[in-house]
Chain A
Amino acid sequence: DAGVIQSPRHEVTEMGQEVTLRCKPISGHNSLFWYRQTMMRGLELLIYFNNNVPIDDSGMPEDRFSAKMPNASFSTLKIQPSEPRDSAVYFCASKPNLSGNYEQYFGPGTRLTVT
C-alpha cells in the first residue's frame, strides 16, 4: 500500500515567488492535515480537512498561505508570496474516519528553502 505522497521533496525558491506543495493522501482516508516543522517551533498544525472540507485553519500563519482539497485524493498548500521565514519542512498527513481512531499517517515531507 502506498503511503502519503508529497511533492516536490525539496523546493528552493527566491523570496517573493509563489510556491505550491502537493499531497496525495492514503486511499480511503477522509481527513488530511498540513503541518510545518522548524527547529524553533517544532511540528505545528496549519490546517486540516475532513471529507475535502476545511475544518480548522487557525494554524495558518497569515494570508500568504492557502490550502485546497479539490477531491479526496489531492491537496495543495500554496504560499504567495514566499518569504525566507517560510523555510521549513512541510508535512502532509492523513487518517481514516473511524470511530475512536486518531492515528495520523505522515508523508515524507517537502523541505522548502526560501532565499
Chain B
Amino acid sequence: EDQVTQSPEALRLQEGESSSLNCSYTVSGLRGLFWYRQDPGKGPEFLFTLYSAGEEKEKERLKATLTKKESFLHITAPKPEDSATYLCAVLRGAQKLVFGQGTRLTINP
C-alpha cells in the first residue's frame, strides 16, 4: 500500500535559519509527488509537483527535490510568514492524492 511519511512532525527555526523537511514514500511506480502549504483555518495551497528522480523546483525561499525514495523541501533564510504546515502527497492511480501527516513549521522573528 502507498505510504507517505513526513519528518519532523514539528520544526521551530529562527528567522534566517535554513533547514529541510523530509517526505519519504513507498509507492509502486511514482507518477507524481506534490507539496502543499496549509495555513491555520485554511485549505491546502499547491506549491510544487515533481515527477522524476533528480527533478528540482524552486519558488522564492523554497526548493523541492526528489529522489527515488524521498523528497526534500529546503527552506533558505526563512521568514516568519513561512510559518505553516507543509504537506507532501503522492499520486495514486489517475487522480487520487495520498497525503502525509505534515510538518508544522514555525519561524520565530
Contact = CB atoms under 8 A, between A and B. Distances in A.
Q: Are chains A and B native binding partners rather than an unrelated pairing? A: yes
Interface stretch (A12-20, A61-69, A71-79, A103-111): A103-111
A50 B96 CA distance: 12
Contacts, number: 48
B40 to A, nearest CB: 11
Chain A interface mostly? strand
B44 A43 contact: yes
A82 interface: no
Interface in A13-56: 31, 33, 42-45, 48, 50, 55-56
A50 B102 CA distance: 27
B101 A103 contact: no
Interface residues of A, number: 22
Interface of A: 4, 31, 33, 42-45, 48, 50, 55-56, 91, 93, 95, 102-109
